Amino acid sequence: MYSFTIQNMNPADANTITKPYGKKSEKVLLSWSGGKDSALSLYELQKTDTYEIYALLTTITEDYDRISMHGVRRVLLEQQAASVRIPLEKVFISKNTSNKEYESKMQEICEKYVNAGISTVGFGDIHLEDVRKYREDNLKKIGMKALFPLWKKDTGTLARTFIDSGFKAVVTCVDSQVLGKNFVGRNFDEQFLSELPPSVDPCGENGEFHLFVFDGPVFKAKISCTVGDIVLRENRFYYCDVLPG
């Protein structure tokens, strides 16, 4: 297991980083949930010299010490950041946070990066227009812009590209209104995709399921983890507790 942890960083350090031979890339703060779309976004952006991923930005529900929505333990998130060798910026929110509180905390963090000369935030959204507009409108208020490397790509193709590229992930959460309990705690693979109902997006773009990525081409080392208990929360969402080791 990868053992070191990257703590919250000082964005002012961004001004000291340049590319070899004087070539500069646009520095990006990448929204990171620990799941498939985040990993694919990183993978796509690292293929070019246009962007430099300066930090990963993750929202953590403080009451549970887990990634918001995905339910993944913070220690596993920190191991991901260590393995991709990118600093981690953590935003802590309460379990019953309001939109106003969430937006205030995100703005506070993002303004630190604006002051350090970083004006772009990357997201793994694929086709939800309202989500894109929400992100763009909020960033525009503080002089930042949004970047969507996966935008409008076919989700079936993306799902299979993820698998074919060597990424490995476990399903950490499913919405019981669209998927049964038997879908959580499984590996995200061709078998999983083949069993999805036609109404479910192959990338879970509508919140049908969430993943934790533990291996793949962006990682320097595999994240060692095991599947634990499965619980039902809010009488709707099945969560699988992914354990370190």
Could you report the per-residue pLDDT of 37-55, keeping only the tens digit for each? 999 999 999 999 999 999 9
Pairing of strands 66-67, 51-61: antiparallel
Exposed / middle / buried, residue 197 (Cβ in 10 Å: 0-12, 13-18, 19+): exposed
Mean pLDDT for 214-234 is: 98
pLDDT above 60 (res 13): no
The two structure tokens encoding residue 144: 């930042």
pLDDT band at 23 (very low <50, low <70, confident <90, very high): low
Q: Which residue has the higher pLDDT, 22 or 178?
A: 178
Pairing of strands 237-244, 168-175: antiparallel
Mean pLDDT for 219-235 is: 98
The two structure tokens encoding residue 48: 């070019």
Mean pLDDT for 69-91 is: 98
Mean pLDDT score of the chain: 92
- Residue 49 and residue 20 in contact, taking contact as beta carbons nearer than 8 Å: no
pLDDT band at 18 (very low <50, low <70, confident <90, very high): very low
Three-state secondary-structure class, residue 240: strand
pLDDT above 60 (res 86): yes
Count of CB atoms within 10 A of residue 13's CB?
12
Topology of domain 11-15+24-244 in CATH is Rossmann fold (3.40.50)
* Alpha-carbon distances of 170 from 14, 65, 155, 184, 211, rounded to whole Å: 33, 19, 18, 8, 5
Q: Where are the domains of the chain?
A: 11-15+24-244
